[in-house]
Amino acid sequence: MPVDDVLMDCEMHMEKAVEHLQHELRGLRTGRASPALVEDIRVDYYGSPTALKSIAQINVPEATQLMIKPFSPADMKAIEKAISDSKLGLTPHSDGRALYLKLPPLSQERRLQLVGQCKTHAEAAKIAIRNARRDANKILETEEKGGVLTEDEAKGGKEQVQELTKQYEGKTDEMIEKKKNEILQV
């Protein structure tokens, strides 16, 4: 396998780790309401778990409130149950046509817990990035032992893999720092 193919494969895995981190961070609450807080909650929809965003419209009428309007009024109870069962700690209020979630202000203690969750997600992303590095380096070593690559090509490839690792870990750190600042803003 040529060095370029190994690098492309490695970069693809690292990019997926960063995208997953970005998706996880979208669901963490800052001081403002965001549809991302609830859109991936799984609702028991005719026996199969379905993402809330697939069966309801989610709006932000105020900075600290979410409005969830089911496409079918019959789904209201299932959506209400799914939100109550989720780890958000929010109680939905219904007016018969839509559900409203009022987001209370974050306490300093809760903000610090959310920052801790950010760090946990970041560490998981960095582990995935390092695993991609390890896998790429193993392939390069195997190709070198098999005589496909010269020693210099393998060494150069490993250096490029390390550069990719630094680049993607840097992206992860930037994302976490930005999210931390959003959460800690009062």
The residue behind tokens 């492309």 is 8
Mean pLDDT of 124-149: 93
CATH number of the domain within which 89 lies: 3.30.1360.40
| Most confidently modeled range among 74-83, 131-140, 176-185 | 131-140
Both 112 and 169 in one domain: the answer is: yes
Question: 75-114: buried (b, 16+ CB within 10 Å) or exposed (e) per residue?
Answer: bbebbbebbeebebebebeeeeebbbbebeebeeeebeeb
Q: Is the pLDDT of residue 186 over 60?
A: no
- In the prediction, which pLDDT does 31 show? 67
> Which pLDDT band holds residue 160 (cuts at 50, 70, 90)?
very high
Q: Is the pLDDT of residue 41 over 70?
A: yes
Both 118 and 147 in one domain: the answer is: yes
- In the prediction, which pLDDT does 139 show? 92
Number of independent structural domains in the chain: 2
Both 95 and 131 in one domain: the answer is: no
Both 71 and 116 in one domain: the answer is: no
Question: Which strand (E) or helix (H) includes residue 186?
Answer: none
11 SS3 class: helix
For residue range 62-95, what is the model confidence (pLDDT) as tens digits? Answer: 888 889 999 988 888 888 888 888 877 778 888 8
Q: At residue 123, what is the residue type? A: E
Both 80 and 125 in one domain: the answer is: no
- In the prediction, which pLDDT does 134 show? 95
Mean pLDDT of 39-57: 87
> Which pLDDT band holds residue 1 (cuts at 50, 70, 90)?
confident
Both 178 and 116 in one domain: the answer is: yes
- In the prediction, which pLDDT does 19 show? 94
> Which pLDDT band holds residue 125 (cuts at 50, 70, 90)?
very high
Domain containing 156: what range? 3-26+107-184
CATH number of the domain within which 17 lies: 1.10.132.20
Question: For all residues of the chain together, what is the average pLDDT?
Answer: 88
Burial class of residue 186 in the structure, from the number of CB atoms within 10 Å of its CB (0-12 exposed, 13-18 middle, 19+ buried): exposed
For residue range 3-40, what is the model confidence (pLDDT) as tens digits? Answer: 889 899 999 999 999 999 998 888 776 667 778 888 88
Mean pLDDT of 156-180: 94
Both 21 and 48 in one domain: the answer is: no
